Structures are given as C-alpha cells and as structure tokens.
Amino acid sequence: MKWEEFVEACRQKEIECSPKQQEQFVRYAQLLQEWNEKMNLTAITEWEEVLEKHFYDSLVPFAGMMLDGAHLCDVGAGAGFPSLPLKIMNPQLKITILEPLNKRVVFLKEVCRQLQLDQVECLNVRAEDYAREHREAFDLVTARAVANLRVLSELCLPLVKKNGKFIAMKGAAGFEEQIQAEKATKILGAELEKAEEVHLQDGSTRVNLTYRKVKAAPPQYPRAYAKIKKNPL
C-alpha cells in the first residue's frame, strides 16, 4: 500500500490524515525499523507493508467511533498497535498501554517522545494484575494478535466500563474464535455488537470483533494467567 492509497483508504472510512500526521507516521515507521534491528518488535518493517498491515489495520476497527476524550486501554500493545496509530489520528484520545516486556515499553515511550504524543501511559505490567486494581476503568479496551479470544476476554473485559467496548482484532480464524468464546464473553458481561471482515491487498484476512459491556464481570475474574491458560472459560 502506497501513501496515496493509505490516505484514500482512510478517507473511505471517513478518516482524514493531515500533513503533520503523515510526518508522525513516517517517523514512527523509521523508529520501528531502527529499533527492530536491536530487538524483536515486528516481522513487518517495509514502509508499504507497515502502512497497510500496521497503520491502516490499526485504524479500521475504530472508524466512525467517537474517540475524542475517551480513555482506551491497549492490552499487550507490542510495538504500539493499534493504540499509537489511533493516538496519531485522534490527539484527544487518552491511552494506557499494558505491555509485559519492559524493552518494548522503552520503545513505546521513545515513540511517544519523538512524535510528541501526550496523555499516553506505557506500563510494564500484566493485564490480569493491573485489572485487579483498575476494574471497569476504561471506555475502550483493545488487543491485537495477543491470545485466543477465550483467554483474551478474561484479560480484557474486567477492564471495560459498563456500556464500554472491547475490540478484539483477530486474524482469519476470528469468527471461529468468536463462537468458541461465546460462553466466556457472556460470563464476563459482554454482548457481540459487530463482527467485521477486512481484506488486505496481499489477500490476508482480518476479523475485528466489537463487544459491548452490558454488565459487570464477576469479581473472581481475571484469575491468575496460568489458570486462565490452563482452564479458559
């Protein structure tokens, strides 16, 4: 995907990209390449692939949402996706990133510093530990390519406010995972609002699942990660 194609694809989703935002995306991609040489951030570093598979892919599930002033939590953000592209396009969005690997947190903080992104908190913490002290604290919680949805739901849904949203960004098996996770999402107080299939230029498929939190998650969740993984809901 070339820059002009990225801009046009965003425009079709009613996302307008300014010259300043273009500069931020270019610098972000440069930092991704530079830092990827010393740590494993992503297998995708070529500019045109980064544009489509990281930047565009991060923005699509949130197109049309009112994000100004909202507080979003990105669970296991890795190299900053989807939260930092969202922040570039929505400067008033408040973000908390939960990332268990400290070296990635160092990278994320440097990206925020160089791109002058404020109101972004990058924490070296596991989601299940953080959720015990921050239940129902966020308008939006998202995760991209982190874990199977049965596991992911228990890590993310306790963090979502009532009437807030959980956006799970999945690959081609997303619909299958959604069916398998129906029991888990119901127990944790969520209802599926939208399931969207997105096709990228290389033929790969993304499935974005948007859930609305309709009631509080029971207080015993999330459990310790070993228990979640061994016996998912």
Q: Is the dihedral of CA 232, 128, 149, 215 positive or negative?
A: positive
Distance, in Å, from the CA atom of 53 to the CA atom of 200, rounded to the nearest integer, reads: 8
pLDDT at 139 over 90: yes
pLDDT tens string 160-182: 999 999 999 999 999 999 999 99
pLDDT tens string 192-233: 999 999 998 888 899 999 999 999 999 999 999 999 999 999
* 179 class by beta-carbon count within 10 Å (0-12 exposed, 13-18 middle, 19+ buried): exposed
What's this model's pTM, rounded to 2 decimal places? 0.94
- Assess contact for 143 and 135: CB atoms under 8 A: no
pLDDT tens string 75-113: 998 899 999 999 999 999 999 999 999 999 999 999 999
Domain boundaries, the chain: 52-230
Query: How many other β-carbons are positioned within 10 Å of the β-carbon of residue 136?
Result: 16
- The topology under which CATH files domain 52-230 is Rossmann fold (3.40.50)
- Assess contact for 177 and 170: CB atoms under 8 A: yes
pLDDT at 146 over 80: no
Question: Rounded to 10 degrees, what is the CA torsion of 65, 55, 6, 21?
Answer: 80
pLDDT of residue 40: 83
pLDDT tens string 19-60: 999 999 999 999 999 999 888 888 888 889 999 999 999 999
Which residues lie closer than 8 Å to 42 by C-beta, 6 or more apart?
32, 36, 54, 78, 79
Strands 160-170 and 94-98: unpaired
Token pair, residue 163, equals 């009437």
Token pair, residue 91, equals 């400067």
